[in-house]
């Protein structure tokens, strides 16, 4: 009998009605002949009593200096509450279930608090539970290191837990249930015309996620790609098929036929960015090198890097501006800073074989009088830095330009 892992995100476990939907999803999957393991996130969003952010603020407000160890301990509680409640709900509905914490389910972490990596997963207790005919319900977002210390996996970590468990159980697929009907052509919060993408490659989803689409964690997609696991993203009511994420070879015939092939699959965006333009009066490789070195040492991520002999441009998150300014001042460099920026990225595995995509992007944005401050690209992505107020018109016009 094949195994399927079903993962339910924060909004999908938050109310008794939503948990009743989970019972139906589990029952359906079992009726289709699969053994089911469930992975859950903490209930709800910030402000809800047992959400991760609420638990975190509970200790941080009173004790801002709390140790990372204790902070991880409290942050791991939300998933434990979800798992215990959901296991009780399932058992009460006649589907015998067993809640397991990350460590009990065999998630071994690297020992770093708040952003731990899973280095191994030996899910004996999960197999035992499945073999007894039960539905094991496993907490996402957590594991323990080799000394037994609890570590959490960072934002979106439950997606990664689900795919890692899928790989360890040799599951046929992993289904990620969430509050939208699948992976969409743009963030539906920004663009209501966004549509569900039927099929998409691992590479495209990774790129959308890196560029700001938080619908699935990029690390989860990387693990799925390495282990060749099919991942399906669906709405928790189960009424529509959702999005199938696979390798390029598994894409249905036709989606990449030379005629009908699509150049762009989806659009992602991120906000609260700032652009730095540093001017070098004369070539000065030593100071140039120092700038990037010090920014790296300060653990500040830079993006959209353009290097010309007399100007270097890059972006950072707005919250990192002060840190960069301090470094530039200490090196006595003059610079221009543009705050209030956003980045819009078009992603599609088809674009590297279809010429003229950049021309269409530029033309579309010009039409809407959207000023492009900077651009960057990889073989399946073109990113444009624009002002925050231009974000909606930019997403809209790109969405229609590429017939999404």
Query: Is the Cβ–Cβ distance between 141 and 152 less than 8 Å?
Result: yes
- Smaller CB separation from Mg ion, 200 or 333: 200
**Phi/psi zone of residue 266: left (φ > 0), alpha (ψ -120 to 50 degrees), beta?**
beta
CA distances from 189 to 158, 215, 261 (A): 22, 12, 27
Query: Angle at which helices 77-92 and 52-62 pack, to 10 degrees?
Result: 140
Q: Which of residues 141-160 bind Mg ion (CB under 5 A)?
A: 156
**Binding pattern for the stretch 3-22 against Mg ion, x by CB under 5 A and - elsewhere:** ------x-------------
Contacts of 73 (CB under 8 A, 6+ apart): 150
By C-beta, is 9 or 143 nearer to Mg ion?
Answer: 9
Interface characters, 258-297, with ligand ADP (x: CB under 6 A): --------x-------------------------------
Q: Which helix (H) or strand (E) holds 40?
A: strand 35-40
Structure tokens at 203: 């590479």
Q: How many CB atoms lie under 10 A from the CB of residue 169?
A: 21
Told to check if 198 binds ligand ADP by CB under 6 A, we report no
CA nearest neighbour of 332 among 368, 274, 291, 372: 291
If the CB atoms of residues 48 and 149 are measured against ligand ADP, the closer one turns out to be 48
Tell me if 39 contacts ligand ADP by CB under 6 A.
no
CB 76, min distance to ligand ADP, A: 17
**Contact map string, positions 150 to 169, toward ligand ADP, x by CB under 6 A:** ------x-------------
Which residue minimizes CB distance to ligand ADP?
A: 9
82 lines the binding site for ligand ADP (CB under 6 A):
no
184 binds ligand ADP per the rule CB under 6 A: yes
Question: Do 128 and 86 touch, CB atoms closer than 8 A?
Answer: no
Can you give the binding site for ligand ADP, defined by CB under 6 A?
9-12, 41, 156, 178-180, 183-184, 186-189, 208, 213-215, 266
Can you give the binding site for Mg ion, defined by CB under 5 A?
9, 156
């Amino acid at each position: 009998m094949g195994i399927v892992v079903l993962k339910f995100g924060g909004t999908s476990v938050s109310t008794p009605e939503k948990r009743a939907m989970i019972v139906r999803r589990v029952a359906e999957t079992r009726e289709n002949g699969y053994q089911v393991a469930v992975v859950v996130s903490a209930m709800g969003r910030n402000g809800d009593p047992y959400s991760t952010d609420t638990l975190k603020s509970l200790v941080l407000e009173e004790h801002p200096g709390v140790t990372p160890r204790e902070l991880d301990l409290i942050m791991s509680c939300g998933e434990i509450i979800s798992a215990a409640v959901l296991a009780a709900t399932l058992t009460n509905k006649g589907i015998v279930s067993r809640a397991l914490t990350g460590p009990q389910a065999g998630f071994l972490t690297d020992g770093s608090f708040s952003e731990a990596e899973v280095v191994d997963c030996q899910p004996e207790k999960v197999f035992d539970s499945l073999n007894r005919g039960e539905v094991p319900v496993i907490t996402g977002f957590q594991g323990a290191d080799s000394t037994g210390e609890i570590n959490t996996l960072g934002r979106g970590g439950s997606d990664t837990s689900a795919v890692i468990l899928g790989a360890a159980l040799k599951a046929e697929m992993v289904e990620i249930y969430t509050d939208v009907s699948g992976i969409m052509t743009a963030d539906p919060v920004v663009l209501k015309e966004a549509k569900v993408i039927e099929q998409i490659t691992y590479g495209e989803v990774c790129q959308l996620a890196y560029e700001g689409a938080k619908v699935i964690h990029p690390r989860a997609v990387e693990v799925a790609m390495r282990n060749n696991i099919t991942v399906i993203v669906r709405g928790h009511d189960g009424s529509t098929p959702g999005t199938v994420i696979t390798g390029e070879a598994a894409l249905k015939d036709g989606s990449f036929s030379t005629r009908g092939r699509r150049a762009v699959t989806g659009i992602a965006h991120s906000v609260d960015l700032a652009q730095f333009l540093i001017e070098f009066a004369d070539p000065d490789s030593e100071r140039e090198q120092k700038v990037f070195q010090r920014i790296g040492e300060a653990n500040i991520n830079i993006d959209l890097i353009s290097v010309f002999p007399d100007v270097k441009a890059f972006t950072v998150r707005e919250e990192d501006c002060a840190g960069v300014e301090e470094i530039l001042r200490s090196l006595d460099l003059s610079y221009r800073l543009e705050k209030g920026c956003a980045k819009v990225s078009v992603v599609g595995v088809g674009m590297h074989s279809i010429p003229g995509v950049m021309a269409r992007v530029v033309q579309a944005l010009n039409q809407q009088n959207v000023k492009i401050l900077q651009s960057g690209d990889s073989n399946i992505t073109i990113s444009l830095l624009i002002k925050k107020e231009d974000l909606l018109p930019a997403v809209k016009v790109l969405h229609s330009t590429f017939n999404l």
